[in-house]
Amino acid sequence: MMGEELADEVLIVGLPEVLESHKNNGVDTLIMDGVITPHLVELAPKAGIKTIVAKGKAVLPREPIGLSLFTAEDLA
């Protein structure tokens, strides 16, 4: 697909730091082999992320506004 490429590959333990340091760099989707956590939901929009696709999702205090979340189960 044109205009879509892998921007970065990061270990899950380093993801919060990467999101904090890559604010609005043109990347709007995060695909990860991990769990969507409340902390990740808080950091992602600040980095310009609008969509997260992950293996699973932790219990979130509320549904995020302006952020689409998908799990492996949603895509099955």
Question: Where do the structural domains in the chain lie, given as residue ranges?
Answer: 12-75
- At 19, the amino acid letter reads L
Pairing mode of beta strands 29-31, 51-54: parallel
**pLDDT above 50 (res 2):** no
DSSP letter for 71, please.
E
Q: How far apart are CA 44 and CA 56, in angstroms?
A: 16
pLDDT beyond 80 at 67: yes
Mean pLDDT of 6-26: 71
Calculate mean pLDDT across residues 20-25: 70
What is the pTM for the complete model shown? 0.78
Nearest of 53, 21, 55, 52 to residue 35 by alpha carbon: 55
